[in-house]
Amino acid sequence: MLKAIGAIALCGLLSACTKTMPSLPPPASAADLAFQKKLQEQLLDAKPGAVIEIPAGKYKFTSGLQLRADGVTIRGAGMDKTILSFKPQITGPEGLLVYGNHFTIEGLTIEDSKGDGLKINDGDHITIRSVKVQWTGGSKVSNGAYGIYPVKTKNVLIEDCVAIAASDAGIYVGQSQNVVVRNSRAHANVAGIEIENTINADVYGNIATGNTGGILVFNMPNLDQPGHSTRVFQNKVEGNNLGNFAAKGTAVASVPAGSGVVINSNSKVEIFDNDIANNQTANVIISSYHSTGYFTEKGVAKDYDPYPKAIYVYDNRFKGGGDAPDGLDLKALKLALYGLSGHLPDVLWDGYADKALAKNGVMPADARICVQDGAEVLNADGPNKYANPKADSAPHRCQLAKLPPVSIPQLSSQS
The answer for residues whose C-beta is within 8 angstroms of residue 356's C-beta and 6 or more apart is none
Going by C-alpha positions, the residue among 370, 378, 360 that lies closest to residue 395 is: 370
Measured CA to CA, the distance from residue 317 to residue 234 in angstroms comes to 10
Q: For residues 148-155, give the mean pLDDT.
A: 98
pLDDT score for 53: 98
User: Worst-scoring range by mean pLDDT, 3-7, 23-27, 102-106, 238-242?
Assistant: 3-7
If you average pLDDT over every residue of the chain, what do you get?
Answer: 92
Measured CA to CA, the distance from residue 202 to residue 206 in angstroms comes to 11
pLDDT at 24 over 80: no
The residue type at 267? S
Measured CA to CA, the distance from residue 122 to residue 130 in angstroms comes to 22
pLDDT score for 9: 34
pLDDT score for 18: 40
Measured CA to CA, the distance from residue 314 to residue 271 in angstroms comes to 6
Cα 184 from chain centroid (whole Å): 12
Measured CA to CA, the distance from residue 402 to residue 51 in angstroms comes to 40
pLDDT at 415 over 80: no
The answer for residues whose C-beta is within 8 angstroms of residue 299's C-beta and 6 or more apart is none
The answer for residues whose C-beta is within 8 angstroms of residue 160's C-beta and 6 or more apart is 129, 130, 183, 184
6 — pLDDT class (breaks 50, 70, 90):
very low
pLDDT at 250 over 80: yes
Structure-model confidence comparison of residues 4 and 182, the more confident one? 182
The per-residue pLDDT for range 27-46, each reduced to its tens digit, is 789 999 999 999 999 999 99
User: Worst-scoring range by mean pLDDT, 81-85, 360-364, 401-405?
Assistant: 360-364
pLDDT score for 176: 98
15 — pLDDT class (breaks 50, 70, 90):
very low
| Every domain of the chain and the residues it spans | 135-404
The per-residue pLDDT for range 298-342, each reduced to its tens digit, is 688 888 999 999 999 999 999 999 999 999 989 999 999 999 999
pLDDT score for 11: 32
pLDDT score for 14: 33
Measured CA to CA, the distance from residue 384 to residue 361 in angstroms comes to 17
pLDDT at 25 over 60: no
Are 159 and 190 in contact by the 8 Å Cβ rule? The answer is no
The per-residue pLDDT for range 56-73, each reduced to its tens digit, is 999 999 999 999 999 999
Q: For residues 132-153, give the mean pLDDT.
A: 98
The answer for residues whose C-beta is within 8 angstroms of residue 326's C-beta and 6 or more apart is 5, 8, 9, 244, 256, 257, 258, 280, 281
The per-residue pLDDT for range 223-241, each reduced to its tens digit, is 989 999 999 999 999 999 9
pLDDT score for 17: 38
The per-residue pLDDT for range 286-302, each reduced to its tens digit, is 999 998 877 676 688 88
Are 122 and 95 in contact by the 8 Å Cβ rule? The answer is no
Structure-model confidence comparison of residues 359 and 155, the more confident one? 155
The per-residue pLDDT for range 198-216, each reduced to its tens digit, is 999 999 999 999 999 999 9
